[in-house]
Structure 1
Amino acid sequence: MNEAALFTERRLANFSGRAGGVCSVPMLWLVLAALVLVRALPAGAQQEQTRPAQPTFVYLTPDEALQEAFPKAARFRVDTLRLSLEQRRALAKKLRQPELDSLFIVHLAYNAEGHFLGYATIMNEVGKYEPITFVVGVDPRFRVKKVAVMVYRESRGGQVRQPRFLYQFRNKSARDPLQPGRDIINISGATLSVRAISRGVKKALHILSFWYGTHPPQGGRRSEP
């Protein structure tokens, strides 16, 4: 029972115990109505009332994040992937995650000579309460090139933005577990954030390798799976 309901029940007991157990009818109905209202609140709403306000730390803008992922890129081309229901379900089953969104935005990186450098995608994965926004850079062979935190919205767990933590994702592919405690070192006090980053990197790798695996991008043309 939550604290508000417990408090209301205690008040009801106090009222009924006064004056030899006599309580006025209007007051009794008022207390009963308050108790019903408190108990009717969804658990999420009750928790929302006690959830502390979370700070927001912005470390990179989208443009800065793309350049962080591919410093030698002269231009980026946006590719919008539209996943069918069957594709989303197949990927979700492989990832052991809830059903994915139907749209997935990819930034294709090219150097000044027009050579393709790789893929960059901006991910949002929930940590403890709020989403963590980060960029995942992937080379043409579908190995992680760079991971960088863009926006962190929690009061704790911010250690996941440190290079010594993020560096361990380098060269990972969709064939790797990408699980804390297996091939990703956990951080005490930041477990949920570590899981969120790992989950997002794994999701990006699987979607990119699925979509572009047999149809890599060529020039300015859009590729289809």
Structure 2
Amino acid sequence: MRYRLCLPLAASLACLPAYAVQYLSVEQVQKLAYPDATAYRTQDVALSLAQMQQVEKLAGLPARSVNWHVIGAYNGDKLLGYLVLDDVIGKFELISYAVALNPDASIRQVEILTYRESHGGEIRLPAWRRQFTGKSASTGGLTLGGGIAGISGATLSASHLTDGVRRIAAIAQVVLRP
């Protein structure tokens, strides 16, 4: 009898949106993006003024920061790619994400690490994130409506994440590509 009163309460709590959900740690995204990696080496990349201008020209938006934290994934001495971690504003809160890049600066995959908004979580859908795969700053197609489809109800999250990925693709093109 007593538990019958708890069911409606439990059901109503289950419908509440989740805030600040961490989906992946850095270690998990490393293994997910580069399953064959035997080592990860971090490096801090500092952009020069000329590189920042190149990034802005390629991405169509400011480089935003001089300093970037990059993780190289290796199998022995062979470079498998780079992982770049970043945050963008969704509507009000930060979205933490990672862009895995191939050695040629093309996008390998995009993963959401932490999502803090009450709405717009559809950007976590694998089908939406797969749109970035294989694209690079030099090939284009990294704009919302110009290669990346928008998401109704997640307009700002999708737009800001797309801009962030485009910025990282430009940085990879300018600084990381051999």
| TM-score, normalization by structure 1 | 0.67
Greater relative contact order (Cα < 8 A, sep 6+): 2
Q: What value does the CA root-mean-square deviation take over the aligned residues?
A: 1.6
Say which of 22, 30, 34 aligns to 1:70: 34
Residues 30-62 of structure 1: per-residue CA shift (max 9 Å, x gap): xxxxxxxxxxxxxxxxxxxxxxxx920100111
Runs of 4+ in 1 over 4 A off after TM superposition: none
Give the aligned partner of residue 15 of structure 2. none
Please tell me the residue identity of whatever aligns with 2:107: V
User: Which has a greater percent of helix?
Assistant: 1
Structure ID, larger Rg: 1
Does the residue aligned with 2:148 lie in a helix, a strand or coil?
coil
User: 1:180: which partner in 2?
Assistant: 144
Unaligned runs of 5+ in 2: 1-17
CA distance in 2, matches of 1:92, 1:209: 12
Aligned length: 160
Task: Please name the residue that 2:71 is paired with.
Answer: 107
Greater per-residue strand proportion: 2
Determine which of 119, 122, 127 is the counterpart of 1:156: 119
In structure 2, relative to structure 1, the CA distance for the partners of 1:167 and 1:110 (3 Å cut) is same
1:184-219, CA deviations, whole angstroms, 9 ceiling, x for partnerless residues? Answer: 111110011111221111111110110133xx3xxx
Q: TM-score, normalised by structure 2?
A: 0.84
Q: How far is 1:79 from its partner?
A: 1.3
Retained in 1: the 8 A contact 2:52–2:62? no
8 Å contact from structure 1 (residues 66, 120) kept in 2? yes
Q: Could you tell me whether the CA contact under 8 Å between 2:100 and 2:109 is conserved in 1?
A: yes
Identical columns (%): 33
Judge conservation of contact 1:79–1:106 (CA < 8 Å) in 2: yes
Q: 2:104 is matched with which residue: 123, 126, 141?
A: 141
The correspondence for 2:155, drawn from 166, 186, 191, is: 191
